[in-house]
């Protein structure tokens, strides 16, 4: 966090001038001390770049490991190291002036920069302890935000997985429903539209003859009573569908006009194809038996 102001106090200009003079003098002295030509100049430039970088870190109030004094300590270490090299340069040149005045420029420049940075410090800026507290709060907030985001992503992933399972179940239910509908349609196609009761088994020939003899004897003994029952049965067994002739009327008509029972049955079935053939045949036989005694009696 920057704790300096944007205003430029006058001391800043003097500090910048002293820094330029210190860089020039230290660069010359270190290069001359190395006796290595361009390689010695590189060592001087490296020291100057390190000093300027540390000054920028002090200006910005950058802390290392939560220690705000680290940049200041690094700046003084670099300044003392450069001063020591300048002392060695003066001794190497056997010059008392260079030995004393050389490091003096660097140390004065460092001291002036310390005052300049102090003058640029914002008095309303938080203290290092307050800045550490703010940074801790920001870290905790960022941590909680990251945890919330991770939990939200996990919840979204869980919801998506459950939705996929539900979708698979719905898809399976849909396919099973379609198969059931197809089976029902196939069953409906294979089922007859109407199921009719099977015909009664035809009695044996001797039983028919016995029944015919019994009926003839009954009619002979009481012909009027039998005729009344047959008439009443014919009157009450008419087809409820008034649009078509009843089976009883058709049987009487066909028996009267056809000499053969088979022809009479075919005639009735041609007029009423919905009738049961066995029932029609039985009615034809009964009508034929009814007419034969009557004809004989008359």
pLDDT for the residue 192 = 59
Interval 123-146 mean pLDDT: 81
Is residue 33 within 8 Å of 57, Cβ to Cβ? no
Residue 117: pLDDT above 80? no
- Mean of per-residue pLDDT scores for the chain: 76
- This prediction's pTM: 0.38
The upper half-sphere exposure of residue 210, i.e. CA atoms within 13 Å in the direction of its Cβ, equals 5
By the 8 A CB rule, do 87 and 95 touch? Answer: no
Residue 126 phi, psi dihedral angles, 5° rounding: -65, 155
162 CB-side CA count, 13 A: 6
Look at residue 144 in the predicted model and tell me its pLDDT.
93
Given a cut of 90, whether residue 232 has pLDDT beyond it is no
Q: In the 8-state DSSP scheme, what is residue 207?
A: H
- Per-residue tokens: 164: 């996929």
The CA distance from 151 to 147, in Å, is: 6
User: Maximum distance among all alpha carbons in the chain?
Assistant: 179
Q: CA-to-CA distance for 69 and 177, rounded, in angstroms?
A: 77
**By the 8 A CB rule, do 29 and 89 touch?**
yes
Write down the domain spans for the chain. Answer: 11-125, 127-191, 205-297
8 A C-beta contact, residue 105 and residue 21 = yes
Which 8-state DSSP code applies to residue 193? S
pLDDT, one tens digit per residue, over 145-181 is: 999 999 999 999 999 999 999 999 999 999 999 998 8
Please tell me the predicted confidence (pLDDT) of residue 166: 92
Q: How close are the terminal C-alpha atoms of the chain, in Å?
A: 139
How high is the pLDDT of residue 95?
Answer: 82
Location of structure tokens 């270490």: 77
Percent of the chain with pLDDT over 70: 76
Tell me what pLDDT residue 164 has. 92
Nearest Cα to Cα of residue 51 among 68, 32, 25, 71: 71
Name, in order, each residue with C-beta under 8 angstroms of 71's C-beta and a sequence gap of 6 or more: 54, 57, 58, 62, 63, 64
Long-range contacts of 136-145 (CB under 8 A, 24+ apart): none
pLDDT tens profile 241-290: 456 778 888 888 888 888 888 888 888 888 888 888 888 889 989 888 88
């Amino acid at each position: 966090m920057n704790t300096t102001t944007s205003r430029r106090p006058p001391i800043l200009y003097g500090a910048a001038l002293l820094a330029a003079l210190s860089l020039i003098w230290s660069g010359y002295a270190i290069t001359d001390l190395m006796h290595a030509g361009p390689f010695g100049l590189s060592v001087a430039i490296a020291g100057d770049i390190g000093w300027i970088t540390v000054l920028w870190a002090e200006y910005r109030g950058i802390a290392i490991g939560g220690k705000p004094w680290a940049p200041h300590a690094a700046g003084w270490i670099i300044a003392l190291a450069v001063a020591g090299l300048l002392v060695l340069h003066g001794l190497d040149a056997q010059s008392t002036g260079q030995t004393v005045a050389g490091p003096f420029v660097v140390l004065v420049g460092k001291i002036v920069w310390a005052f300049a940075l102090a003058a640029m410090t914002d008095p309303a800026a938080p203290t290092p302890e307050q800045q550490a507290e703010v940074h801790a709060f920001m870290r905790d907030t960022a941590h909680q935000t990251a945890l919330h985001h991770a939990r939200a992503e996990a919840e979204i992933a869980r919801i998506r997985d459950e939705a996929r399972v539900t979708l698979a179940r719905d898809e399976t239910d849909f396919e099973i429903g379609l198969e059931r509908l197809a089976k029902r349609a196939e069953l409906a196609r294979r089922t007859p539209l109407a199921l009719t009761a099977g015909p009664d088994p035809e009695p044996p020939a001797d039983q028919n003859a016995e029944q015919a003899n019994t009926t003839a004897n009954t009619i002979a003994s009481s012909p009027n009573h039998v005729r009344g029952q047959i008439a009443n049965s014919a009157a009450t067994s008419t087809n409820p569908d008034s649009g078509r002739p009843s089976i009883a009327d058709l049987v009487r008509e066909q028996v009267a006009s056809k000499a053969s029972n088979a022809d009479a049955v075919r005639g009735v079935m041609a007029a009423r194809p919905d009738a049961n053939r066995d029932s029609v045949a039985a009615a034809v036989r009964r009508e034929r038996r009814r007419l034969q005694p009557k004809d004989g009696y008359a």
